[in-house]
Amino acid sequence: MKKSIFVCVAVTLTFLVPSLLLSSENGRSFSVGASVAGTAIQHGEFAYLWGAEVGWRFSDRLGANLEIASAKKAQEWELEAPSATANGTAVDKMLPITLSLLYRNSLGKGGEVYSGFGVGFYFLKESEHATSQSLYQGVNKSDAEWSGSALAPHVCLGLEAGIRGGLRLFGEVRYVVGAVSAEKTDAYQTVKSDLSFGGAQVKCGFRLYF
Protein backbone atom coordinates (compact mmCIF):
# COMPACT_ATOMS: atom_id res chain seq x y z
CA MET A 1 0.00 0.00 0.00
CA LYS A 2 2.85 2.42 0.82
CA LYS A 3 4.38 1.76 -2.59
CA SER A 4 1.05 2.54 -4.33
CA ILE A 5 0.70 5.84 -2.44
CA PHE A 6 4.28 6.79 -3.38
CA VAL A 7 3.62 6.07 -7.08
CA CYS A 8 0.38 8.11 -7.01
CA VAL A 9 2.15 11.10 -5.43
CA ALA A 10 5.02 10.81 -7.93
CA VAL A 11 2.62 10.82 -10.88
CA THR A 12 0.84 13.88 -9.45
CA LEU A 13 4.09 15.82 -9.09
CA THR A 14 5.25 14.75 -12.56
CA PHE A 15 2.15 16.32 -14.11
CA LEU A 16 1.73 19.40 -11.94
CA VAL A 17 5.18 20.78 -11.11
CA PRO A 18 6.52 21.29 -14.67
CA SER A 19 3.25 22.79 -15.82
CA LEU A 20 3.11 25.24 -12.93
CA LEU A 21 6.69 26.36 -13.54
CA LEU A 22 6.53 26.66 -17.32
CA SER A 23 3.01 27.91 -17.99
CA SER A 24 2.35 31.52 -19.00
CA GLU A 25 -0.08 33.86 -17.29
CA ASN A 26 -2.49 33.66 -20.23
CA GLY A 27 -5.31 31.25 -19.49
CA ARG A 28 -4.23 30.40 -15.96
CA SER A 29 -6.95 29.83 -13.39
CA PHE A 30 -7.62 27.85 -10.23
CA SER A 31 -10.87 26.00 -9.48
CA VAL A 32 -12.64 24.06 -6.76
CA GLY A 33 -15.63 21.82 -7.32
CA ALA A 34 -17.90 19.03 -6.15
CA SER A 35 -19.67 16.21 -7.95
CA VAL A 36 -21.76 13.07 -7.66
CA ALA A 37 -21.38 10.05 -9.94
CA GLY A 38 -23.06 6.74 -10.53
CA THR A 39 -20.44 4.01 -10.43
CA ALA A 40 -19.89 0.30 -9.95
CA ILE A 41 -17.86 -0.77 -6.94
CA GLN A 42 -17.01 -4.31 -5.81
CA HIS A 43 -18.78 -7.12 -7.71
CA GLY A 44 -20.44 -4.60 -10.04
CA GLU A 45 -22.74 -3.19 -7.36
CA PHE A 46 -24.09 0.32 -8.14
CA ALA A 47 -23.31 3.14 -5.72
CA TYR A 48 -23.17 6.94 -5.61
CA LEU A 49 -19.65 8.38 -5.63
CA TRP A 50 -19.44 11.78 -3.88
CA GLY A 51 -16.36 13.81 -4.73
CA ALA A 52 -14.52 17.09 -4.18
CA GLU A 53 -11.81 18.42 -6.48
CA VAL A 54 -9.24 21.13 -7.09
CA GLY A 55 -8.13 22.11 -10.58
CA TRP A 56 -5.50 24.20 -12.33
CA ARG A 57 -5.66 25.65 -15.84
CA PHE A 58 -2.14 25.89 -17.24
CA SER A 59 -3.34 27.56 -20.44
CA ASP A 60 -6.55 28.10 -22.40
CA ARG A 61 -6.63 24.43 -23.37
CA LEU A 62 -4.54 22.43 -20.91
CA GLY A 63 -5.41 21.70 -17.28
CA ALA A 64 -5.40 19.11 -14.51
CA ASN A 65 -7.82 18.05 -11.79
CA LEU A 66 -7.07 16.30 -8.51
CA GLU A 67 -10.11 14.64 -6.91
CA ILE A 68 -10.94 12.67 -3.77
CA ALA A 69 -14.22 10.80 -3.55
CA SER A 70 -16.09 8.21 -1.49
CA ALA A 71 -18.73 5.57 -2.22
CA LYS A 72 -20.60 3.23 0.13
CA LYS A 73 -23.12 0.45 -0.54
CA ALA A 74 -24.93 -1.58 2.14
CA GLN A 75 -27.03 -4.63 1.36
CA GLU A 76 -29.03 -7.07 3.45
CA TRP A 77 -29.49 -10.69 2.42
CA GLU A 78 -31.42 -13.70 3.68
CA LEU A 79 -31.43 -17.43 2.88
CA GLU A 80 -33.96 -20.04 3.97
CA ALA A 81 -33.87 -23.84 3.88
CA PRO A 82 -36.11 -26.48 5.49
CA SER A 83 -33.73 -26.98 8.43
CA ALA A 84 -31.71 -23.76 8.46
CA THR A 85 -31.85 -19.99 7.94
CA ALA A 86 -29.17 -17.35 7.43
CA ASN A 87 -29.14 -13.58 7.10
CA GLY A 88 -26.61 -10.82 7.13
CA THR A 89 -25.40 -7.42 5.97
CA ALA A 90 -22.63 -6.67 3.48
CA VAL A 91 -21.08 -3.18 3.28
CA ASP A 92 -18.86 -2.18 0.33
CA LYS A 93 -16.70 0.96 0.45
CA MET A 94 -14.46 2.62 -2.13
CA LEU A 95 -12.17 5.65 -1.67
CA PRO A 96 -10.44 6.88 -4.86
CA ILE A 97 -7.89 9.69 -5.20
CA THR A 98 -7.54 10.53 -8.89
CA LEU A 99 -5.46 12.84 -11.08
CA SER A 100 -6.67 13.78 -14.58
CA LEU A 101 -4.89 15.71 -17.33
CA LEU A 102 -7.50 17.54 -19.45
CA TYR A 103 -7.49 19.08 -22.93
CA ARG A 104 -10.24 21.66 -23.56
CA ASN A 105 -11.97 23.21 -26.58
CA SER A 106 -14.20 26.27 -26.38
CA LEU A 107 -17.78 26.06 -27.65
CA GLY A 108 -18.41 29.78 -27.21
CA LYS A 109 -20.76 31.55 -24.76
CA GLY A 110 -19.03 30.02 -21.72
CA GLY A 111 -19.25 26.43 -22.91
CA GLU A 112 -16.37 23.97 -23.21
CA VAL A 113 -15.89 20.35 -24.13
CA TYR A 114 -12.92 18.45 -22.73
CA SER A 115 -11.28 15.04 -22.89
CA GLY A 116 -8.54 13.55 -20.81
CA PHE A 117 -6.84 10.65 -19.12
CA GLY A 118 -5.37 9.96 -15.73
CA VAL A 119 -4.64 7.56 -12.93
CA GLY A 120 -6.15 6.94 -9.51
CA PHE A 121 -5.26 5.29 -6.23
CA TYR A 122 -8.24 3.22 -5.04
CA PHE A 123 -8.81 1.83 -1.56
CA LEU A 124 -11.54 -0.83 -1.33
CA LYS A 125 -13.10 -2.52 1.68
CA GLU A 126 -15.94 -4.99 2.13
CA SER A 127 -17.36 -6.08 5.49
CA GLU A 128 -19.87 -8.85 6.03
CA HIS A 129 -21.79 -9.74 9.19
CA ALA A 130 -23.84 -12.94 9.09
CA THR A 131 -26.05 -14.97 11.43
CA SER A 132 -27.10 -18.56 10.73
CA GLN A 133 -29.37 -20.92 12.62
CA SER A 134 -29.97 -24.63 12.13
CA LEU A 135 -31.63 -27.50 13.97
CA TYR A 136 -28.29 -29.22 14.50
CA GLN A 137 -25.82 -26.41 15.21
CA GLY A 138 -27.99 -23.75 16.80
CA VAL A 139 -27.14 -20.06 16.27
CA ASN A 140 -23.82 -19.11 14.73
CA LYS A 141 -22.49 -15.58 14.06
CA SER A 142 -19.59 -14.72 11.78
CA ASP A 143 -17.74 -11.63 10.56
CA ALA A 144 -15.46 -11.29 7.54
CA GLU A 145 -13.61 -8.39 5.94
CA TRP A 146 -11.87 -7.84 2.60
CA SER A 147 -9.54 -4.88 2.02
CA GLY A 148 -6.99 -3.82 -0.57
CA SER A 149 -5.65 -0.96 -2.69
CA ALA A 150 -4.53 -0.51 -6.28
CA LEU A 151 -3.66 1.99 -9.00
CA ALA A 152 -6.07 2.15 -11.95
CA PRO A 153 -6.09 4.24 -15.17
CA HIS A 154 -9.07 6.11 -16.60
CA VAL A 155 -10.19 8.15 -19.60
CA CYS A 156 -12.87 10.85 -19.56
CA LEU A 157 -15.02 13.08 -21.76
CA GLY A 158 -16.92 16.06 -20.38
CA LEU A 159 -18.91 19.21 -21.07
CA GLU A 160 -18.90 22.48 -19.07
CA ALA A 161 -21.47 25.27 -19.23
CA GLY A 162 -20.95 28.74 -17.74
CA ILE A 163 -23.70 29.92 -15.39
CA ARG A 164 -22.57 33.19 -13.85
CA GLY A 165 -19.14 34.65 -13.26
CA GLY A 166 -16.72 31.83 -12.55
CA LEU A 167 -19.45 29.28 -11.76
CA ARG A 168 -19.82 26.40 -14.22
CA LEU A 169 -21.87 23.22 -14.29
CA PHE A 170 -20.37 20.10 -15.84
CA GLY A 171 -21.24 16.59 -16.90
CA GLU A 172 -18.67 13.88 -17.48
CA VAL A 173 -18.42 10.27 -18.62
CA ARG A 174 -15.42 8.37 -17.27
CA TYR A 175 -14.23 4.81 -17.79
CA VAL A 176 -12.05 3.13 -15.15
CA VAL A 177 -10.27 -0.21 -15.43
CA GLY A 178 -9.17 -1.74 -12.14
CA ALA A 179 -8.73 -4.84 -10.02
CA VAL A 180 -7.18 -5.33 -6.59
CA SER A 181 -5.80 -8.36 -4.80
CA ALA A 182 -7.47 -8.06 -1.41
CA GLU A 183 -6.97 -9.88 1.87
CA LYS A 184 -10.00 -11.58 3.45
CA THR A 185 -9.91 -11.84 7.23
CA ASP A 186 -12.37 -13.75 9.39
CA ALA A 187 -12.28 -15.52 12.73
CA TYR A 188 -10.28 -18.44 11.36
CA GLN A 189 -7.87 -17.31 8.64
CA THR A 190 -6.59 -14.65 6.23
CA VAL A 191 -6.68 -15.43 2.51
CA LYS A 192 -6.27 -13.40 -0.67
CA SER A 193 -9.00 -12.90 -3.26
CA ASP A 194 -9.56 -10.58 -6.24
CA LEU A 195 -11.98 -7.64 -6.09
CA SER A 196 -12.84 -6.02 -9.41
CA PHE A 197 -14.04 -2.43 -9.70
CA GLY A 198 -14.44 0.30 -12.26
CA GLY A 199 -16.33 0.43 -15.51
CA ALA A 200 -18.32 3.41 -16.75
CA GLN A 201 -19.05 6.39 -14.48
CA VAL A 202 -21.53 9.17 -15.25
CA LYS A 203 -21.03 12.26 -13.10
CA CYS A 204 -22.30 15.81 -12.77
CA GLY A 205 -21.33 18.72 -10.57
CA PHE A 206 -20.07 22.28 -10.45
CA ARG A 207 -16.74 24.07 -10.64
CA LEU A 208 -15.95 27.56 -9.37
CA TYR A 209 -13.06 29.29 -11.17
CA PHE A 210 -10.92 32.02 -9.64
Q: What is the pLDDT of residues 122-174, one digit of tens each?
A: 988 888 887 777 766 667 777 777 888 889 999 999 999 998 888 999 999 99
Length of the chain counted residue by residue: 210
State how beta strands 62-81 and 46-57 pair. Answer: antiparallel
| Domain 2-209 part of CATH 3.40.1190.20 | no
Please say whether the beta carbons of 166 and 208 come within 8 A.
Answer: yes
Q: What is the pLDDT of residues 90-132, one digit of tens each?
A: 888 889 999 999 999 998 877 899 999 999 999 888 888 877 7
Partnered with residue 201 across adjacent β-strands are: 174
Q: List the domain boundaries for the chain.
A: 2-209
Question: For 54, which DSSP code?
Answer: E
Give CA–CA dist 170/163, Å, rounded: 10
Q: Pick the closest to residue 58 from 10, 23, 18 (CA basis).
A: 23
Is the pTM value of this prediction over 0.85?
no
